[in-house]
Amino acid sequence: MLAADKLLLQSNVKQRAIQLREKELNLFNDNFNAVGTQSAVLAGFAMTSFAEIDLPHNAFYAQKACLHLFVTISICANLMCTASTTFVSVWGSGKALRGKDGSMDKAVDGMHAERAFIFACFGVGLITTLMALMSAAWILMTLEVAIVASMGISWSIYVIIRQARRIHAKFGLSPSEAVTFSDIMTSPVIPSTSDSSEPEVLLLKNAQQHARRGIYDV
């Protein structure tokens, strides 16, 4: 009976550790969904400005080239961000929930590694959208109004970058500060699948059935 209780305890500890990792999985999914939604909105704005804006014939070639270049980069970066968040959320969650033993850790760590590329695409798409707006201001507005609009857009870009760096410095976690579960998952208390022999697995199943029914050996 003690052997069965030991195996049942190990199973419960491992199940609780997986539940903690599942919270990380849900956090990443929520973050990626938020970023992907905003990127899709920005891509829609850029596509609308690219397709429906009516450029005057007397506009300078450099102004039109800058507008088309920034709009193209904005659309590509935002769509890359949207596609990446979709791929990571769908395939990462599928691997975590339907994969074999240890898939939850691999999925969560993989989703964490993809954050840098996704946030970089979102930042590039956001900045180039504002740069496209500045280019459109110089094409469609008078000189005085374009100067004022460019000053406002430049200030917005500066504030966005400053706020991003300040907030990241405030809430960012260094590797030494982040909570990890490697010490729990690699602990000898939690048996691996390869270490479990057939009699132990059968004994664990019987112990779990007895625990559900409230039956204990005396």
pLDDT per residue rounded down to tens, the chain (218 residues): 677 776 776 677 677 777 778 888 898 899 999 999 999 999 998 888 777 777 777 778 888 899 899 999 999 999 999 999 999 999 998 988 888 877 888 888 899 899 999 999 999 999 999 999 999 999 888 899 999 999 999 999 999 999 999 998 888 777 776 666 665 555 555 555 444 444 444 444 554 555 454 444 43
Question: Residue 211: what pLDDT?
Answer: 47
The C-alpha atoms of residue 217 and residue 210 are separated, in whole angstroms, by: 9
Question: Residue 214: what pLDDT?
Answer: 46
Question: Residue 33: what pLDDT?
Answer: 92
Question: Residue 216: what pLDDT?
Answer: 40
* Crossing angle of helices 2-52 and 61-98, rounded to 10°: 160
Question: Residue 206: what pLDDT?
Answer: 54
The pTM of this model reads 0.73
**Strand (E) or helix (H) holding 141:** none
Tokens for 218, please give them. 């005396």
**Strand (E) or helix (H) holding 61:** helix 61-98
Question: Residue 79: what pLDDT?
Answer: 95
Residues in the chain: 218
Question: Residue 198: what pLDDT?
Answer: 47
Question: Residue 56: what pLDDT?
Answer: 78
Straight-line distance from the first to the last Cα atom of the chain, in angstroms, rounded to the nearest whole number: 9
Going by the DSSP 8-state scheme, the letter that residue 192 receives in this structure is: P
- Whether 29 and 93 have beta carbons less than 8 Å apart is answered as yes
Question: Residue 182: what pLDDT?
Answer: 60
